Chains A and B, each alone.
Chain A
């Protein structure tokens, strides 16, 4: 049973544009929502994370928007650069359980 649905599967954006990746979850017990960035041949790297008591979190050019009532959260990348081209995974976890449930990933390509 997939508990975190991620879309789109792939995304191509021009440099400077704002790619948006969306995730939806089912389990209302989840209370921690991280995003991971993975480059080819590397392990996933923690990018940014949010807890459900806030609706938005920004770190540099990366922003998470969180909608608790809709059980959805999304990643926005401002002023995207070719170096942002990677696969992005959303995930969810219930603190205390510590078991991350991952989305299926979005392959993002930023073209110059």
Chain B
């Protein structure tokens, strides 16, 4: 298995632009998680899905953030409009029976 796949790996955008991050979980996994990592705040869980249904979005920082999982093999995290404070590394992870496996991350820079 290729593991969790994320795209793009790097994204540089200007403040106010829409950003879409993509994730393909490991086949057969029924949970999908979106995390954000910064030096100041460490690893933060933003939202997670079970069988494509959002379970807990309490970590989503504000309405500018939204996430979807239209099917078992694809999820998106969208930021609209983006702000410089959104600059971070965003990780997607998936799991089956508790063990979570992380993707390589998307490094987002908002100027």
| Contacts from A to B (Cβ < 8 Å) | 32, 34, 36, 42-46, 49, 89, 93, 95, 98-100, 102, 104-105
Q: A45's contact among B31, B42, B102, by CB below 8 Å, is which?
A: B102
Known A43-B4, A100-B100; further 15 A-B contacts with Cβ < 8 A = A34-B99, A42-B104, A43-B93, A43-B102, A43-B103, A45-B102, A46-B99, A49-B99, A93-B98, A98-B31, A98-B48, A98-B50, A99-B45, A99-B48, A105-B42
Chain B residues whose CB sits within 8 angstroms of the CB of A98 once the complex forms: 31, 48, 50, 95, 98
* Residue from the set B43, B50, B56 with the largest chain A CB neighbour count within 10 Å: B43
| Contacts from B to A (Cβ < 8 Å) | 4, 31, 33, 42-43, 45, 48, 50, 56, 91, 93, 95, 98-105
Are the C-beta atoms of A46 and B101 separated by less than 8 Å?
A: yes
**Distance in angstroms between the alpha carbons of A95 and B42 in the assembled complex:** 23
Q: Is the interface of B mostly helix, strand, loop or mixed?
A: strand
Our count of residue pairs bridging A and B at CB distance below 8 angstroms stands at 40
**Distance in angstroms between the alpha carbons of A31 and B48 in the assembled complex:** 19
Q: B56's contact among A32, A36, A42, A99, by CB below 8 Å, is which?
A: A99
Chain A residues whose CB sits within 8 angstroms of the CB of B91 once the complex forms: 43-44
Are the C-beta atoms of B43 and A89 separated by less than 8 Å?
A: yes
Chain B residues whose CB sits within 8 angstroms of the CB of A43 once the complex forms: 4, 91, 93, 102-105
Are the C-beta atoms of A102 and B42 separated by less than 8 Å?
A: yes
Minimum CB–CB distance for A6 against chain B, Å:
10
Can you list 25 residue pairs at the A/B interface with Cβ under 8 Å?
A32-B98, A34-B99, A36-B102, A42-B104, A42-B105, A43-B4, A43-B93, A43-B102, A43-B103, A43-B104, A43-B105, A44-B91, A46-B99, A46-B100, A46-B101, A89-B43, A93-B98, A98-B48, A98-B50, A98-B95, A98-B98, A99-B45, A99-B48, A102-B42, A105-B43
**Distance in angstroms between the alpha carbons of A32 and B100 in the assembled complex:** 12
Are the C-beta atoms of A44 and B104 separated by less than 8 Å?
A: no
Minimum CB–CB distance for B49 against chain A, Å:
10
